[in-house]
């Protein structure tokens, strides 16, 4: 006999409570990997998160993973985007192209863990870079509003309910409350 599908919102939430997803991405493989967050899709399918809210969470998630890769594992400075490189591009792009295949940068990994605790989506992202201290103003390290960098942390903080850095800045934990009391 097949199990009955949950019909009420609370039954759907109860069925998803404790659902999680975990994966590792090597920096060397980052550009070849299609980033998916199946747990977020399951929460949308169950009606726990709206399509609009899912888009905002996805932006925060994608920014956080990209930051872990570029600024953590590859140790690229945002300010390099404004500096000319040797080959006609900017210093950031040139260093990224080189470091993505160069040890030790290429061998570093990004660990991603997402979990729904019945009320909130909790996402943890850890890189193997040197870490960093975020700007205490609430944004990233962006000082110039017209700069071509520094928007990622602002977006993450705007779209998520809480954002916390741990392990010297090598781990980001962000939460989004999805179920109201």
Confidence (pLDDT) at 153? 92
pLDDT, mean of residues 173-177? 98
Tokens 């996402």: give the residue: 123
Q: Model confidence over 105-116: pLDDT tens digits? A: 999 999 999 999
Taking the whole predicted model, whether its pTM rises above 0.75 is answered as: yes
Q: Which domains does the chain have, with CATH numbers?
A: 29-177 (3.30.565.10)
Confidence (pLDDT) at 12? 81
Predicted confidence band at 3 (pLDDT cuts at 50, 70, 90)?
low
Confidence (pLDDT) at 169? 94
Say whether pLDDT at 140 is over 60. no
Say whether pLDDT at 139 is over 60. no
Confidence (pLDDT) at 145? 58
Confidence (pLDDT) at 137? 46
Q: How far apart are CA 124 and CA 28, in angstroms?
A: 21
Long-range contacts of 35-42 (CB under 8 A, 24+ apart): 35/62, 35/65, 37/61, 37/114, 39/114, 39/115, 39/116, 39/121, 40/114, 40/121, 42/16
Say whether pLDDT at 16 is over 50. yes
Q: Model confidence over 90-101: pLDDT tens digits? A: 999 999 999 999
| Higher per-residue confidence, 98 vs 11 | 98
* Percentage above 70 pLDDT, the chain: 87
- Residues 109 and 128: beta-carbon distance below 8 Å: yes
Say whether pLDDT at 138 is over 70. no
Say whether pLDDT at 147 is over 70. no
């Amino acid at each position: 006999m097949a199990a009955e599908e949950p019909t009420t919102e609370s039954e759907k939430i109860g069925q998803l409570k404790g659902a999680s997803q975990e994966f590792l991405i090597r920096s060397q493989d980052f550009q070849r990997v299609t980033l998916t967050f199946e747990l977020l899709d399951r929460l949308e399918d169950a009606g726990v998160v709206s399509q609009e809210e899912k888009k905002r969470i996805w932006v925060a998630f994608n920014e956080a993973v990209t930051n872990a890769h570029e600024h953590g594992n590859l140790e690229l400075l945002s300010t390099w985007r404004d500096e000319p490189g040797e080959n006609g591009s900017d210093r950031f792009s040139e260093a990224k192209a080189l470091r993505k295949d160069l040890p030790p940068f290429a061998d570093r990994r990004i660990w991603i863990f997402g979990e729904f605790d019945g009320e909130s989506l909790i996402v943890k992202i850890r890189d193997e870079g040197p870490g960093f201290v975020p700007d205490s103003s609430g944004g990233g390290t962006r000082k110039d509003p017209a700069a071509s960098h520094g928007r990622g942390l602002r977006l993450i903080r705007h779209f998520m309910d809480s954002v916390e850095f741990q392990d010297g800045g090598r781990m980001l934990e962000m939460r989004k409350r999805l179920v109201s009391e």
